[in-house]
A = this chain, B = another copy of it.
């Protein structure tokens, strides 16, 4: 899924063809374990529509970020896999949560600082929507997805493609399967309200174009995260500042 794109969509697409509505509804039932949809030819005949009509519907779903397609490969639900995947898996095996927080503590406040200077009004509105999604999330897994989307949106708003790539690497390492149990143990009802308030403080600082405040708010947020998470891994919280 791509939470960031979903919320950015208008809800008035029902005037589209019937194929789109049918496809959107059955999307989660059609794909296999790997998220792969049947080939376009099979899917078209299976749904009783022409291939061209099917492709128009798929174009909409792709623009919404619900699916991704690649010639010769197939059509898949979810987000297109990133080139950072292999590198992130390799790094995840050689680093540890303390190092990840040490890096985040230096990178993410800088991204927030730049976002305060460069974020558009759409960026800021989207950040607020994403923080609402975090607050209203029904379960921990979706909450993690929205939280990741918010941090990514801030990184995007910093307006530096290389910095965004660096952030993506860090984020993928953080979310590596090897540390899944740690993330599950870190889920903490009491801390949720704190996180949402800290997110709001970061967004407010960006909205008021205050780079120093944005960086400080982000630093405080990541420090809170590290204090809540690292002890669960039996690790010390690093003292170094940004």
Contacts and interface: CB of A to CB of B under 8 A. Distances in A.
Interface string A92-105: 00110001101100
Nearest to A167: B166
Contact residues on A (Cβ < 8 Å of other chain), bracket: 20 to 34
Nearest to A105: B110
A106 interface: yes
Contact of A162 (B84, B100, B114): B100
Point out which of A91, A103, A106 has the most chain B C-beta atoms below 10 A from its C-beta.
A106
Interface of A: 83-84, 86-87, 90-91, 94-95, 99-100, 102-103, 106-107, 110, 114, 160-163, 165-166, 169-170, 173, 240
A98 B84 CA distance: 22
A235 to B, nearest CB: 14
A170 B102 CA distance: 18
16 contacts: A83-B86, A91-B161, A91-B162, A94-B161, A95-B161, A95-B165, A99-B162, A102-B163, A103-B160, A103-B166, A106-B106, A107-B107, A107-B166, A162-B170, A162-B173, A166-B170
Say whether chain A's binding surface is mostly helix, strand, loop, or mixed. Answer: helix
A160 B170 CA distance: 13
Given A99-B160, A99-B161, A103-B163, 19 more contacts: A83-B90, A86-B86, A87-B165, A94-B161, A95-B161, A95-B162, A99-B163, A100-B162, A102-B162, A102-B163, A103-B160, A103-B162, A106-B106, A107-B107, A107-B166, A114-B240, A165-B169, A166-B169, A166-B170
